[in-house]
Amino acid sequence: VSLDYIEIDGAALKLDIAPDEATLRTRYEKEKARFVTPEQRLTSHILVQAKGSDAEAQKAALAKAQELAAQIKGGKSFADVAKQSSEDIGSKAQGGDLGWLEKGVTDPAFEQVLFALKKGEISDPILSGEGYHLIDVRDVREQKEKSFDEVKEELGKDLLESERERRVSEETGKAIDAAQADVT
């Protein structure tokens, strides 16, 4: 058996291009969303679930959520109340900590209130599909957009990598065409 092969090493390809500023700016404008970190909120919550779907169960859950809100307004720590009373098994042990949340990851009713609160504010009871929530916004990270100058080098590297991939594909195609021509 005789085997001939060609190795095409993309990393070894010499590229004769240097991305110019106009090309990089155009790419930046097209991909701007990639360089935006959305607003995030460091959030804790307390969940009170309604035990049943009737009006009485809803009233009881709301009353309990209002009582927990009164305890917090009276000076009890939000985290302590969450550890004692929250019905969210996933966050209860951490004092209701949900971590950093951004828009689009929670229930719309919860999210609407969450993003209306300021740092340090605690909501009144909010009804969602899970039950009643008390929301504590512990910190806020504003939306941040990286400037062109901050990402210029990254864009240049990406552009060169795209060109390298295009050239490897082109060279591979030529090699396949040449091999097929030798077979026939």
- With vertex at residue 126, the alpha carbon angle to CA 121 and CA 131, rounded to the nearest 5 degrees, is 135
- Residue 44 has a pLDDT of 97
Average pLDDT over residues 89-113: 95
pLDDT at 94 over 90: yes
In the block, which residue shows the tokens 């990270």? 141
Q: Is the pLDDT reported for residue 174 higher than 70? A: yes
Rg (CA), the chain: 28
Give percent above pLDDT 90 in the chain. 54
Single-letter amino acid, residue 125: P
> Of 91, 133, 92, which Cα lies nearest the Cα of 111?
133
What's the mean pLDDT in 157-177? 85
Structure tokens at 9: 């090493």
- Looking at residue 108, its pLDDT comes to 93
- Note the pLDDT tens digit of each residue in 56-90: 889 999 999 999 999 999 999 999 999 999 999 99
For residue 183, pLDDT over 90 is answered with no
Average pLDDT estimate for 119-123: 96
Q: How much is the mean pLDDT over the chain?
A: 90
Q: What's the pLDDT at 121? A: 96
SS (H, E, C) 10-55: HHHCCCCCCCCHHHHHHHHHHCHHHHEECCEEEEEEEEECCCCCCH
Residue 104 pLDDT class (50, 70, 90 cuts)? very high
Could you tell me the pLDDT band of residue 11, with boundaries at 50, 70 and 90?
A: confident
The predicted-structure confidence for 34-59, as pLDDT tens digits, reads as follows 898 899 999 999 999 988 778 888 99
pLDDT of residue 2: 74
Residue 38 near residue 143, CB atoms below 8 Å: yes
pLDDT category at 184 given cuts 50, 70, 90 is low
State CA 60 to chain mean position distance: 35
pLDDT score for 165: 87
